[in-house]
Chains A and B, each alone.
Chain A
Amino acid sequence: MPEQVLWGMEVFLNGLMAGVLYALVALGFVLIFKASGIFNFSQGVMALFAALTLVGIMEGQVPFSHLINAALGTDVHHFGWHVPAFAAILLTMGVMVLLAWAVNQFIFRHLVGQEPIILFMATIGLAYFLEGFGDIMWGSDIKKLDVGLPQGINGMIDEVTYNIFGYGFFIDNLDIWATVIAALLVIVLTIYSQYSKQGRALRAVADDHQAALSVGISLKFIWVLVWSIAGFVALVAGIMWGTKSGVQFSLSLIALKALPVLMLGGFTSIPGAIVGGLIIGVGEKLFEFLVGSMIGGATENWFAYVLALIFLVFRPQGLFGEKIIERV
């Protein structure tokens, strides 16, 4: 098989894997938008906050230590213990639930019935608040995140493809794990929303707020629930991206990678986020591989948006989005 074809296949597979990582971020957006009609600008920052909290708990870091030391003249930074990854993930989830409650209690409870643009603005404010809050709580240094996920080339795939094609494919172990985890996440979310009482309530609210309220579904509870689930998705995305690059402020920028996925897959569809992520991942990687070198490279950021725009022109609601029908 010609080298170019083999390389193209490798790029395709890596594009799929990258797409899963994008989809993980996009999922959080979809969950909140579907349930409340809010485009959550702070989803990327939630991923950062979740990852910061996870590392902080794992390392036994004293939250707000700089503030405490400045105010009390102390010199405390660590509790002196290390928390195992699994327990730290559970504790972080608890923090994200608390955050979900606080967000609804102090912000969205007061904005029920407001225009979507007002709710969107509120999430912008929330994003900037969380950025600063995360900094003050855990510090702004770059933190290594190791929850035990393997990284680096998968030796088996390398060997098998080498034996078949004479060229070993590079697939990152972390990407394989991300794919497995994303698949599990989608299955669990689907089962939860289809078969659990809360899940059905969640879908009812997503379909029609007023109708859901009229049959006694608590909007407040549903919003806390959906923000908690989005917080969990943010934590998963934060773990995956944070393992790649260390936990640092730039994690909040992964939201930029989710936007074309949402444009393509639709804002209201979980499968749309996954399929959109895969199309964007493969599309941008193949374009860079085939065309990038001819036009100076670094095409991925903008090409993802071009691809999304093309889909948007022909299907404004996205591939899997609900068709908007307004009757006179």
Chain B
Amino acid sequence: MKLKLITAAAATLMAAAPAMAELVFPSLSYRTGPYAANGIPFADGYADYFTLLNERDGGIGGEPIRMVECETGYNTEKGVECYEATKGEGSLVYQPLSTGITYQLIPKVTADGIPMHSMGYGRTSAKNGEVFRNIFNYPANYWDGASHAVTHILNENDGDISDKTIALVYHNSAYGKEPIRTLEELSKKHGYDLTLLPVDHPGQEQKSQWLQIRREKPDYVVMWGWGVMNQVAIQEAVNIRYPMENFIGIWWSGSENDVKPAGAGAHGYKALTFHNFGTDYPLYDDLQEYVIDAGKAAGAGDQVGTVLYNRGMYAAMLAAEAAKTAQEIHGTSAITSEMMRDGMEALEMTEEKMAELGLPNFGPEFTVTCENHGGNGYGAVAQWDAEAGEWNMITDYFQSDQEVLAPLIEADSMAYAEENDIEPGCD
């Protein structure tokens, strides 16, 4: 009897309450498979930030957030299945954390009118918003990364690297090949020699590549790796006594996972980044109070503060800020994916805003426009301190070489527009 009364009362209350819209953020994560060690912290950071917004602020603009997690296993087919399975839930934006999945979803999200954010990965020329209207890759992309590495090397050599040799050790895949064209163009401009050293998936055996590096002694090694390839490359570099301070990885080769297996030998290894590290931010106090101490942390709750956790959290924060912008633009809290796209296109991240969010000096300032979906191309260089077991930023954020990159992006995006019969423009 008591149960019936409670059920009836609950039903009455639910009927009387105003209809609450939910803001749906799908999380295409990979907690299993060969890249799980990287997928888990990112997914945890992504989820924990949305949990924080729900617990502390009641969601975004008064609307509760519902995160829908779907396991891709870093498998492109599964990623597409996840997209198809979740798009009908009212998904606002997709962040697949995989270049392969991103490429497959570009035509799909465009047709479905759902925005996709590939933060620091995916198709670089998606920066051109006139062609890729639903794809965003702020605050930095692969070509920015290649330019950041070269700029850093230039800065270390008083602006002259015409007598230097740079070797690119890269994952022999679409992802790994992304920086080649940029590095070749930059080589023409700065006069350095570029050696290309592909490593086949998964990258457990790299003896040939590192013997070649030992023989040819390039002044710098730049790495575009992922997963086990990173750990093996760093270990091989240690084995041949390559100077670690001249070894620079892209941001996907710069987490704790990549350096810790090599122990003390990895000290001094560098990696590019577009966000800061650690937990020394006011936002973490809130995360501790509302999420971690409350027992609501995602996963096992053991990834908080790692590089990839911070990156996942940053990705969620940028999505939330774009949603807020969309709510402001359209004057409604119950936004749709089309409105979300508008919000992303009008996103402006300033240091003031980041400080308000509890993340001062965490990420670069950038502005997104219809023409520019990639932000301003700012990044920084970090270095691994093996003794302290932490990454430290050793430069301020600096801009990539827009003079070289802009024509490359224009050419690649226009070729895509022609292939797919897209009329570029901002309407």
Contacts and interface: CB of A to CB of B under 8 A. Distances in A.
Given A142-B231, A246-B231, 6 more contacts: A14-B207, A246-B257, A250-B34, A253-B34, A253-B202, A253-B204
A108 interface: no
B296 interface: no
Contacts of B119: none
B228 A151 contact: no
Contact of B36 (A146, A152, A249, A253): A249
A17 B205 CA distance: 12
A139 B257 CA distance: 14
Contacts of A297: 172, 196-198, 209
Nearest to B207: A14
Contacts of A11: 208, 211
A18 interface: yes
Nearest to A65: B300
B239 A285 contact: no
Interface of A: 7, 10-11, 14, 17-18, 66, 69, 73, 77, 131-132, 135, 139-146, 151-153, 170, 172, 241, 244-246, 248-250, 252-254, 257, 285, 288-289, 292, 296-298, 300-302
Given A142-B37, A142-B257, A144-B261, A244 B208 contact: no
6 contacts: A132-B32, A244-B235, A248-B37, A297-B198, A298-B199, A301-B200
Contacts of B37: 140-142, 248-249
A281 to B, nearest CB: 9
Contacts of B263: 144, 146
B260 A142 contact: yes
A18 to B, nearest CB: 6
Q: A-B pairs with the 4 shortest C-beta distances?
A: A246-B261, A250-B228, A298-B198, A140-B36
A66 B300 contact: yes
B417 interface: no
B208 A288 contact: yes
B241 to A, nearest CB: 7
A252 B211 CA distance: 25
Contact of A248 (B201, B228, B235): B228
A14 B208 CA distance: 9
Nearest to B256: A142
Nearest to A152: B239
B183 to A, nearest CB: 15
Interface of B: 31-37, 40, 172, 196-202, 204-205, 207-209, 211, 214-215, 227-228, 231-232, 235, 238-241, 257, 260-261, 263, 265, 295, 300, 302
Contacts of B33: 249
Nearest to A242: B261
Interface centre among A142, A245, A252 (most CB of B within 10 A): A245
B239 A249 contact: no
B317 to A, nearest CB: 24
B238 A250 contact: no
A289 B227 CA distance: 25
A174 B215 CA distance: 20
Contact of A250 (B204, B209, B215, B295): B204
A131 B196 CA distance: 34
Contacts of A254: 204
Contacts of B300: 66, 69, 139
Nearest to A22: B205
A19 to B, nearest CB: 11
B33 to A, nearest CB: 7
Contacts of A10: 211
Contacts of A298: 172, 198-200
A142 B238 contact: no
A144 B261 CA distance: 5
A48 B290 CA distance: 37
Interface centre among A249, A250, A288 (most CB of B within 10 A): A250
A304 B9 CA distance: 70
Contacts of A141: 37, 40, 257
Contacts of B172: 297-298
A302 B214 CA distance: 24
Nearest to B215: A7
Contacts of B211: 7, 10-11, 14, 170, 289
A140 B303 CA distance: 12
B260 A144 contact: yes
A243 B274 CA distance: 31
A278 to B, nearest CB: 14
A132 B35 CA distance: 14
Interface centre among B32, B205, B214, B260 (most CB of A within 10 A): B205
A18 B227 CA distance: 21
B256 to A, nearest CB: 9
A46 B207 CA distance: 24
Given A170-B214, A297-B196, A292 B260 contact: no
Nearest to B263: A144
Nearest to B299: A66
A123 B198 CA distance: 33
Given A170-B211, A253-B204, A292-B208, A142 B197 contact: no
